[in-house]
Amino acid sequence: MPRHADRDDRVCAKRPRLERRALDRVRRHDTASGHLPARRATKHLPQRRHDAARRATLPAQSRQQGRATLRLLRDSRAPPAPLRVQQHLPRVVRGKRLALFRHLARRQARRTHRTEGPPVPRREPVPSRIPEQTQRAAPALQGLHRRGAPAHAPEAAVTYGDAIEFLYGLRLFGAKFGLENTLRLAAQAGNPHRSLRFIHVAGTNGKGSTCAMLESIYRHGGLRVGLFTSPHLVSFRERIQVNRQPVPEADVVRLVAELQPLLARFPRDQHPTFFEVITVMALRYFAEQRCELVIWETGLGGRLDATNIVTPLASVITNIGFDHQQWLGTTLAAIAAEKAGIIKTGVPVHTAAADAEALAVIHSHAVRLNAVVHVLSEANLGRCLPEHWIVPLAGAHQRMNAALAVAVVKSLGTIIPIPAETTRRGVESVHWPGRLQTLTARSGQKLLLDGAHNTPGCEALARAICDLSADTRPALVLGMLEDKDSGTMCAQLAPLSQRIGLVRVASARTAAPDALAAHCRLANSTAEVKCFDSVRQALLWLEAEPLVVVTGSLYLVGEVLALLNPDGTSADERGLNEWR
């Protein structure tokens, strides 16, 4: 008889009792933590006693194999460590509904811990043709009591407004640079980016327009295309789109609820920021929607931006100019180094940067990583974008953005072939609001909205205004953030107008209208300059003008769009732009 065989037999005979104790421990564990039991198998214990007696009659080798199998099964079924919902969550501005997300977090935690590994999407992508009213009734949102409601009160779903409040609450964690939090949160969410293909776009200006053109081209080519951009103009949902359909409200609520228990695992001093959270939200949504390509815009800079956790098919750097110097550096070389941080080993690079110093930095980074650089300039623009192709976005600078997008599509032709005629249709069908966007009021007045928010952008806008209204001097509504080069921007735009309204941007970082007025009077001493507390007041002052240009900040453009569509969203949703 093998040594200890009799002891093995006793263990086999006692196994039902041991398993009963283990099940009791599981039930006690789950009761204490609020989780449902991993298994409820007490009704099978008589059958287990019979199985144990039968195993005792088997040869020792068979018993050992059976015990090994049981150990594997037992290990795979062992309950994971309980997930503790973070007790020190950020206080939201109107945080009366924060308790709802704690309930939802516990509910999601139970679902997450029934399987080993990170949570996975629980349902198929919602087709865009389903009405939004139906989407709001998603099962993941049902069955939660509002704070203070009696126990017998009817259950109510968490709303889109609740999700926006939660995201707004993340502002307490500020904005920081680095990839650690994003990588960790993405890993806990199942690393959704590993199943996706990307084109990563950075640059000082033109990122959004170039992304919109790339998206339009590939969508017309029959692909299912995700688009991630920032900031939004009116609604948060603009940031995450699939085939130019903004993420449904119900999916925003669901994604926030699914990520909340993962956020609870982070120490408070290492909590992910708003932009890090929505970056992972976007990745997860694009993976659920089975996007075949994602057009992926950086938030700020590139090297340490949360979007830089992906390895794309191509890296795009639109141009290099002065903006965000307090974070990116005070020289074009330093700024270029941050933007070039998105370059990956062996991944082709496309740029329309014109500054020699910036180009040298981009080439240096690319050489170290064995990446080929394709430079687009005025001299070779026609080879990418024929003159007879129509670019719907106004301004000569948009032809450069379109040519850059076409160059990227051509270079990836062996991976994703797109016919030339399809590329043309995509370019000529592009729509991107807030960039020299023209709106006509009932009175016939035209509003020209442009999000120029730095000196290169204002320079391009000034050229476009001269081309579009050579015979008319438009009125100007100008507002900007205090960290901008307001003196230079006012000097670029004020000479174009004889009536200038200076306004506050709906942001804590707004520049004072009085300071802007001084710059404008210095640049154009004959203009009528007046300060206002809101853009509404300025537009009323200029209601008799045939053409009014509103510019200086994308935030300001968003205010005007929301003013023209008052039922579109709330001020709090636009306020999310404070955190990129």
d(C-alpha 530, C-alpha 253), whole Å: 43
3-state secondary structure of 537: helix
Look-up of token digits 């609520």: 253
Which two tokens mark 327? 């974070």
Looking at residue 86, its pLDDT comes to: 37
Which residues does residue 144 pair with via DSSP β-bridges, in sequence order?
Answer: 156
3-state secondary structure of 91: coil
Looking at residue 569, its pLDDT comes to: 55
> Pairing between strand 547-551 and 446-449?
parallel
Helical H segments across 127-248, by residue range: 132-135, 160-169, 180-188, 207-220
Distant-in-sequence, close-in-space partners of 130: CB < 8 Å, separation ≥ 6 = none
Distant-in-sequence, close-in-space partners of 295: CB < 8 Å, separation ≥ 6 = 198, 199, 201, 211, 214, 215, 218, 225, 226, 227, 228
Phi, psi of 242 (to 5 degrees): -125, 120
d(C-alpha 69, C-alpha 44), whole Å: 18
Looking at residue 471, its pLDDT comes to: 75
Nearest CA to 377 among 396, 358, 342, 404? 404
Looking at residue 568, its pLDDT comes to: 57
Nearest CA to 242 among 293, 193, 195? 293
d(C-alpha 353, C-alpha 358), whole Å: 7
Q: Give the DSSP H or E segment for 503.
A: strand 499-503
Looking at residue 23, its pLDDT comes to: 42
pLDDT string in tens for the chain (580-residue length) = 444 444 444 444 444 444 444 444 434 444 333 343 444 444 444 454 445 544 454 445 444 544 543 343 344 333 333 333 333 333 444 444 445 555 555 555 554 444 444 444 433 443 433 334 333 333 333 332 333 333 333 445 789 999 999 998 897 777 778 999 999 999 999 999 999 999 999 999 999 999 999 999 999 999 999 999 999 999 999 999 999 999 999 999 999 999 999 999 999 889 999 999 999 999 999 999 999 999 999 999 999 999 999 999 999 999 999 988 888 999 999 999 999 999 999 999 999 999 999 999 999 999 999 999 999 999 999 999 999 999 999 999 999 999 999 999 999 999 999 999 999 999 999 999 999 999 988 788 899 999 999 999 999 999 999 888 767 889 999 999 999 999 999 999 999 999 999 999 988 899 999 999 999 999 999 999 999 999 999 999 999 999 999 999 999 999 999 988 866 555 456 555 654 4
Looking at residue 134, its pLDDT comes to: 30
Please tell me whether the overall predicted TM-score, pTM, comes out greater than 0.75 for this model: no
3-state secondary structure of 198: strand
Looking at residue 153, its pLDDT comes to: 38
Looking at residue 425, its pLDDT comes to: 98
Which two tokens mark 452? 């120029």
Nearest CA to 142 among 127, 128, 154? 154
d(C-alpha 219, C-alpha 216), whole Å: 5
Domains of the chain in start order, with CATH, are 5-77 (no CATH), 195-247+278-428 (3.40.1190.10), 437-579 (3.90.190.20)
